[in-house]
Amino acid sequence: MPQLAVLTGDIVKSSNLPEGGLAQVFEGLDAAAAALAGWQDVAPRLTRARGDSWQAVCAAPMALRAALAFRAGVRMTGKAHDTRIGLATGGGTVAGADLSDAEGAAFVASGRALDDMARTARLFTDTAPKPLQSALPLADHISSRWTVRQAQIALASLAVPAPTQDALADRFDVSRQTIHSLQEAAGIRVLIDVCEMLEND
């Protein structure tokens, strides 16, 4: 059975979103999934469920990068927009184009992680390898402060291979110094270092 990372999420305070707000959030998730699809060989198969819930997969070593990407995708759609993500790695089988028929231990553990996380947490795992368990609270704390603009820069910066600051400056039509300042304020360069460590372990 292939080793996957499974991310199970829901949208924070979705009932308080204005008309069209939830659709906007899912557009952000779609953008994150599209980006993630280009960074690794596993199709994310982002699947919406129960109105404000979602699930996606990625290669197991990419778990932290994927979690950050999906959080960035949501946060870049609005200042108060956020998602909780329960994460697990392990065996899983995906039979179709989406995850409606997926099965395996990682899918069960990911759902339980979402159910069991603390009320104030946004990223959580209790079954993944210890290095990832240790990294997630720090990643949660840093990414919880992202502004809309920082989240946009974060999602773009998480790409594999990593884009240069000059390339990001051209993409967002700003100066290289602005990109540097946004990356520093978002803590994204430190987070990427941790992602790379986990991916190359």
The CATH number of whichever domain residue 134 belongs to comes to: 3.30.70
Give pLDDT, residue 2.
62
Q: If you average pLDDT over residues 128-141, what whole number do you get? A: 96
Query: pTM of the entire structure?
Result: 0.96
Structural domain harbouring 87: 3-199
Residue labelled with tokens 């990414």: 143
Residue 115 contacts residue 124 (beta carbons within 8 Å): no
Looking at residue 50, its pLDDT comes to: 79
SS (H, E, C) 40-94: CCCCCCCEEECCCEEEEEEEHHHHHHHHHHHHHHHHCCCCCCCEEEEEEEEECEC
Structure confidence by residue, pLDDT tens digits, 68-90: 999 999 999 999 999 999 999 99
Q: How many domains does the chain have?
A: 1
Q: How confident is the model at residue 97 (pLDDT cuts 50, 70, 90)?
A: confident
